[in-house]
Each structure stands twice: as structure tokens, then as C-alpha cells.
Amino acid sequence: MKLTIGGRQSGAAALLLGLLLAILPTVPAWAHKPSDSYLSFKVDERGVTGQWDIAFRDLEYAIGLDANGDGEISWGEVKQKHAEIASYALARLEVKVNGQACALSPTEHLVDDHTDGAYEVLRFRVWDCVGPASAPEVLDVRYNLFFDFDAQHKGLLRIESPAGTLTGVFASDSSSQHFELRSHTLLEQFGSFFREGVFHIWVGIDHVLFLISLLLPAVLFLPHGSRGGWRPVERLGPALWDVLRVVTSFTVAHSITLSLAALGIVSLPSRLVESTIAFSVLLAAVNNIRPVVEEKRWMMAFLFGLIHGFGFASVLADLGLPRDALLLALVGFNLGVEAGQLVIVSVFVPLAFMLRATVFYRRVLMIGGSVIVALVAATWMAERIFDLKIITPR
């Protein structure tokens, strides 16, 4: 009897008494290793997909793959068993997303090599549990493969999600695991909402057009009693003062409604909100062509800023608000919006001030640009009111 200690033969410790099995070893290129399977989930905005690498040796033991008994498993023999492999394995895996049990459906069968041999690569879809609007936040996995006949089998789990990579190990005495997919630190969460805010103001073309339309006249003025139209301002000071009033009003207003909506205190139908936002852009553009409000544009910014805030809130809701860090997300998102807005303003104002005296600015941008903006905004309004799709696939 040879004594094999901890998987290594202990030379001095081996005593020869009794029977030793005379087995000529087959000499495979593979390592000798206890049985593992490699399970991975990929979580993204499109949902959850899975991949499960399971050793052919283990599947052979569990369900038998070597149909002709020649000691070799051919791809043809594996293909014959694909349905059985998928149903055997997936019956031993339970996945819950946000507490809802998911359906698991095989999508693809491949082959891959690991250190100890070739593996079935079973790709599958995790579905029927995550709505399109709710991001996966919590993942519960129950793993029960091969434990019935191999007490040392382990399932090595890897989850790739926007919050980062998580890993876990399933063993016969720990077959269930719970994973939080949200960002772990508050700072990370804050950062991600901040980035979303910046991103949203930059791609939210209606907010940008509203703001620009209100800012275009900041470097110009209408002389009293003159019918000559917009004239360039002399100094930067009054222009900056005007910009500051408009931007601050807009910011304060949309922050108020964004907070009220995100906290669930006030809510408005999104069609009304979106239509009114389009109307606000139209109004701001038309005011540049046919000035009605000049000095008091900051009031317009405030009034319609309230409506734009509801628009931001619906974006924030789509992102999936963390219940335990609602305020953090709100502040992060809002500051992101302001930062994004500040970047736009700081690029726009110097350029506008430099170009204010040119015909290009006063005619082409101020009038021509506003006409185009007004037309676009009018179309949006029609789309949003009548739920049509004319120019913008929103």
C-alpha cells in the first residue's frame, strides 16, 4: 500500500504492506485536478447571459457520452447528447434576478480546453425575470451540479457587470450565493450618476438648444425705440451678467422639479413634459426672431426650467435609482447636469462674444439658426403631442 498524502506521494511515508494496484497509467497531457466547472454571467443593459464550462469527463460520468465505449469522446458523440447535457446541467442551476426566478435556455454548444482536459461550453440565456426598465441589481444563484456523486466538485463563478467583476465558489456545503451588482462604494455610485448627468445634458439636444437659444442674445441688445434689431454689446460685463441670470434660473428651476420628481413627491405624464420641453425650445427660438421678452429671459429660463427638470427625472428613473442611496444619486446626477451645462456655457460665451459684431452671428446664427431651431422644435412638439415619428427616433 502506497500512502498518498495530500495528493502527493510522500516518499519516506510510503510503507509497502498489503496490496498495491498495478495500473499502468495512461499518460494524458492534462493536469490531474479535482473536478471544477466554470460558470460565468455577463450582465449588461441588454440583460443577462450565461456560459458554463463543464468537463467532458464529468459529463461522461454523469450521463455517459462515450456511446461506442472506445474510451474516446468524439464531437459527433457530444452532439448527439447536446440536448441532454443542456437539460441535465440547467436543471441543476437556479438563477434569480432581483428576487425573480429566471428561465434558462441553451443558445450554443462549443468546446474549450482547460488545464485538466476538454470542456463542454454551454452558452445560455437568462430571461423571463428582468423587465426592460429594471437593471439587474441582485443576483441569487443556486448551484447543484455533480455534488450528488462528487463531494469535492466545485463551481467557480464569475459575474461581469457594469458594477465590476464578482467571483464566487460553490461547493457541496455551500451551494447558494447572493450577489449585489450595484457599485460598491458610495463614491463610485456618486461618480457614476455624475457621469450620467454630464452625459445626459450633452446628448439631450432639446435641453442644449433651449439653453443656447436663451444665451444667443446675451451678447446683443435691442436699442430702445430702434427698429434696427439686435446690436452687439460693448463690454463683456453685462453679457456675463445676463448669462449668469439665465443659467442660474434654469439650474435652480430644474433642480427643484428634478428633486421633487425623483423623490416621488410630484409626477407629471411624460408626454406632457416632453411636449412642453419642445414648446419651450420653440418659444425661446421664436423670441430671438421676434423679440417679446428681452431683459426678462431669465424668467423664461426659470419657468421652463421647471419642466426640463421633469425630463431629467425620467432619465434618472430609467437608470435605476439605488433605494439605499437615493439622495446621493440625485445630487450626483444633478451636479453632473450642471457640470455638463457649465462646459457648454464656457465654450459658447467666449465664442459668442468674439463673433457678436459679425453679420454671421447676428444674421446667420441669431436669426437663421433660431429659425431652424424653431422648426425642429415645432416638429418635436407635433411628434410628442401626437406620438408620431417624423425626424427624431427618440
Partner 1 sequence: MVAAAGLCRAVPHVPANDAVIVEKLPTRASDPIARELRQLRSAHAADPGNRDVAVKLARRYFDLASAEGDPRYVGYAEAAIRPWTGAADAPLDVVMMRALIRQYRHEFDPAMADLDAVVARDPQNTEALQWQFALHLVQADYGAARERCARLAPLTTVLAATACTAVIDGVNGHARDAYATLSKAFAEHPSSDAEYRQWVMTRLGELALRMGDRALAEKHFRDAIATGVVDGFVLGAYADLLLDENRPAEVVPMLRDWVASDILLLRLVLAENAVHAPLAAEHIQALADRFAAAALRGDKLHQQEESRFTLQLQHNTDKALALALENWKLQREPRDARVILEAALAKKDSAAAKPALDWMARTGYEEAPYRELVAQLNKLSGTAK
34-53 binders of partner 1 (CB under 8 A): 34-36, 51
Which residues are CB-neighbours of 123 under 8 A, at least 6 positions away?
49, 50, 51, 52, 106, 107, 108, 109, 110
Give me the least distance between CB of 97 and partner 1, in Å please. 24
Residue 107 DSSP label: E
Binding to partner 1 (CB under 8 A) within 64-93 occurs at: 66, 69-76, 78-79
Give me the least distance between CB of 102 and partner 1, in Å please. 23
User: Which of 127, 150, 240, 382 is the binder for partner 1 (CB under 8 A)?
Assistant: 150
Binding to partner 1 (CB under 8 A) within 182-201 occurs at: none
Q: Residue 50: enclosing H or E segment and its boundaries?
A: strand 47-55
Which residues are CB-neighbours of 330 under 8 A, at least 6 positions away?
193, 258, 259, 262, 263, 316, 321
Residue 178 DSSP label: E
CA-angle at 352, arms to 351 and 354, nearest 5°: 65
Q: Count residues near partner 1 (CB under 8 A).
A: 73
Give me the least distance between CB of 39 and partner 1, in Å please. 12
User: Which of 84, 92, 98, 121 is the binder for partner 1 (CB under 8 A)?
Assistant: 121
Please tell me the number of Cα atoms within 13 Å of 29 on its side-chain side: 4
Binding to partner 1 (CB under 8 A) within 267-326 occurs at: none
User: Which of 91, 101, 107, 148 is the binder for partner 1 (CB under 8 A)?
Assistant: 148
Q: Which residue, 151 or 299, has its beta carbon nearer to partner 1?
A: 151
| 380 CB burial (10 A radius; 0-12, 13-18, 19+) | buried
Dihedral Cα 130, 106, 94, 103, nearest 10 deg: 40
Question: Among 55-63, 224-232, 296-304, 314-322, which window interacts with partner 1 (CB under 8 A)?
Answer: 55-63
Binding to partner 1 (CB under 8 A) within 98-117 occurs at: 110-117
- Regarding 128 and contact with partner 1 (CB under 8 A), the answer is no
Beta bridge partners of 221: 231
Q: Which residue, 76 or 132, has its beta carbon nearer to partner 1?
A: 76
Q: Which residue, 78 or 219, has its beta carbon nearer to partner 1?
A: 78
Q: Which residue, 148 or 318, has its beta carbon nearer to partner 1?
A: 148
Give me the least distance between CB of 118 and partner 1, in Å please. 4
User: Which of 152, 267, 358, 392 is the binder for partner 1 (CB under 8 A)?
Assistant: 152
How far, rounded to the nearest angstrom, does the alpha carbon of residue 285 sit from its chain's CA centroid? 34
In the three-class reduction of DSSP (H, G, I as helix; E, B as strand; rest coil), residue 319 is classed as: helix
Distance CA 122, CA 118 (A): 13
At 394, list the grid cell.
Answer: 427618440
